[in-house]
Amino acid sequence: MRITIRQPHYVTFNSLDLLMTEKEYNQCVTEYADNVYRFIVKNLRHEEDARDVVQTAFEKMWVNRADIDNAKCKSYLFTVAYNQMIDHLRKAKRVTLKDEFREDARVYDRPMHNTRKVLEQALAQLNETQRSLVLLKDYEGYSYEEIGQITGLNESQVKVYLHRARVQLKNILVSPENVL
């Protein structure tokens, strides 16, 4: 899925006092919008919320472009998006929805034999930090150091938490209901 990031219309542009130029900003959008969106949507599991988080991250990058080194725009972007996602999740936990469905009107998932869906369900069972670490390392290919910068953890914590997440994933995936 391709998402479109709009430049905020309320920000003025003066190329003399920017570290990141408008062209570099647009290049960053082109190169990383899909990666950031994919990372966020896999964590949130809701496309509209993911779009909002990604849009906010790009807006913050635009507003703070004078302080951003273009060589580090990817790391900055993922860090801001990650923090926005955490804020979104915290807000969502405070909201409780009323379940208005009757018990007999509910739809239950049938057993699946689709590896991708089983993996997505297994990832959904991890806590926010574990899921983010697995996605950043195994889906996006970040180094332990880069993941630490994005999440605010030190490299050792990243390694330990990632190992625990992978062990938990393994246990989930080899459970009898997921074995084909």
* Residue range 70-97, pLDDT digits in tens: 888 999 999 999 999 998 888 877 665 5
Query: Is the pLDDT at 150 greater than 80, yes or no?
Result: yes
Same domain, 30 and 90: yes
Inter-CA distances, 162 with 118, 134, 142, 158, Å: 19, 6, 12, 6
Q: What is the model's pTM? A: 0.56
Domain-embedded: residue 5? no
Q: Copy the structure tokens of residue 42.
A: 């896999």
Domain-embedded: residue 9? no
Same domain, 35 and 76: yes
Same domain, 118 and 168: yes
Q: Copy the structure tokens of residue 34.
A: 């899909």
Query: Domain range spanning residue 161?
Result: 114-173
pLDDT tens-place string over residues 26-63:
999 999 999 999 999 988 888 999 999 999 999 999 99
Same domain, 37 and 76: yes
Same domain, 89 and 133: no
Q: In whole angstroms, what is the distance from residue 20 CA to residue 92 CA?
A: 33
Same domain, 76 and 135: no
Domain-embedded: residue 3? no
Domain-embedded: residue 23? yes
Please give the DSSP secondary-structure letter assigned to residue 106.
-
